[in-house]
Amino acid sequence: MTQYNFKNDYCEGAHPRILEALGKTNFMQEEGYGQDNYCIEAIEIIRQRIKNPNADIHFVSGGTQANLIVIASILKPYESVIATTNGHIAVHEAGAIEATGHKVNIIETRNGKLNPQNIESVINLHEDEHMVKPKLVFISNSTETGNIYRKKELKELSSFCKQNNLFLYLDGARLGSALTSEQNDLTLPELSKYLDIFYIGGTKNGALLGEAIVINNKQLKENFRFHLKQKGALLAKGRILGIQFLELFKDDLFFELGRHANSMAAKISKRIEKFNYEFLTEPVSNQIFPILPDKLIEKLSKKYKFYVWNKISDHNSAIRIVTSWATKEEIVDAFISDIK
């Protein structure tokens, strides 16, 4: 029997509307390198959504590429980026940031979120020219452990970074899930207001591939296309990315897909709570981390794929379950039934 995959939210291809749009436009001739009509229209729609007509928007193929190009474009050779110990740039990008010559200053946090206090501790440690100079703060929404930033938290971070001459950058690989969480109180316009730069993730929210980098800070806009080209991100067929983001944002499809992923995860987490199992972190998005007996995990792994995240005790472990825009409710019901 084929195992159902709960390891990530990009197992499936793309939402049918995106495939249909790609098919319909296939024989249309367009300019290359992101200067086609689809990219231009998608950029204008995203500007309207974030209520920032002055934002620069660039499409790239994936999240690691976005992080690499953004961070390398901002930092001088002696400057570093601050992230949590489980931040994507610190763990899952094969040293991409370090390969550009920049140190990642890591901070231990339980929920994957940063705050002004722990950022200040890093700044105070790096006190002179014999050490790297922290210049950029890297956060994710949602985080690698499924948590989300509230408005108050992001506002405080933004204020602290401005006061300390730091840039604030948000990895939005799972922004669709974060913004449609029942616990969320942030909007896209507020992200554009509080962040110097961020990206909107399409790969993990119904697109075949692609992320939209949004540059709000004027200081960071100049010559960005040169960085894209040098890092192999300026696609000749950039239309492929523009068409997808046009489809995601011309109505509420982007948010509908994030909301569906969250609802499937919420259904699982609510039933798990009724079975009296606990969670490693509060389940608020499409990534949930139930703590289950190892014997039960072994049985479940015969029918479902997931990551065993942390060993909690001699007989219990936390697993990571990720639902997607395409997760079917009957699969969720079967998973719950098997746990029971």
CA 180/CA 29 separation, integer angstroms: 36
- For residues 83 and 111, which has the higher predicted lDDT (pLDDT)? 83
Among 2.40.30.30, 3.40.50.1110, 2.60.40.10, 3.40.640.10, what is the CATH number of 16-252?
A: 3.40.640.10
CATH code of the domain occupying 4-9+254-339: 3.90.1150.10
Q: Determine which helix (DSSP H) or strand (DSSP E) holds 330, and give its type and residue range.
A: helix 329-339
pLDDT in tens, 191-245: 999 999 999 999 999 999 999 999 999 999 999 999 999 999 999 999 999 999 9
Tell how far CA 236 is from the center of its chain. Answer: 25
Query: Under a CB-based contact definition with an 8 Å cutoff, are residues 140 and 112 in contact?
Result: yes
pLDDT in tens, 87-139: 999 999 999 999 999 999 999 998 899 999 999 999 999 989 999 999 999 99
Q: What is the 3-state secondary structure (H, E, C) of 81-148?
A: EEEECCCHHHHCCCCHHHHCCCCEEEECCCCCCCCHHHHHHHHHHCCCCCCCEEEEEEEECCCCCCCC
Residue ranges per structural domain of the chain:
4-9+254-339, 16-252
Query: Under a CB-based contact definition with an 8 Å cutoff, are residues 195 and 185 in contact?
Result: no
| 3-state SS, residue 58 | strand
Confidence at residue 1, expressed as pLDDT on a 0 to 100 scale:
61
Q: Which of 260, 204, 211 is nearest to 13 (CA)?
A: 204
CA 194/CA 294 separation, integer angstroms: 43
Query: Under a CB-based contact definition with an 8 Å cutoff, are residues 307 and 320 in contact?
Result: yes
CA 55/CA 196 separation, integer angstroms: 10
Confidence at residue 110, expressed as pLDDT on a 0 to 100 scale:
81
Side chain identity, residue 204: K
pLDDT in tens, 12-55: 999 999 999 999 999 999 999 999 999 999 999 999 999 999 99
Which residue bears the tokens 């474009």? 73
Q: pTM for the full model?
A: 0.97
Mean pLDDT, residues 286-315 taken together: 97
Per-chain mean pLDDT for the chain: 97
Handedness of CA 227, 230, 233, 235 (dihedral sign): positive
Angle between helices 16-24 and 239-249 (to 10 degrees): 130
pLDDT in tens, 245-296: 999 999 999 999 999 999 999 999 999 999 999 999 999 999 999 999 999 9
Confidence at residue 222, expressed as pLDDT on a 0 to 100 scale:
96
Query: Under a CB-based contact definition with an 8 Å cutoff, are residues 236 and 33 in contact?
Result: yes
Query: Under a CB-based contact definition with an 8 Å cutoff, are residues 183 and 264 in contact?
Result: no
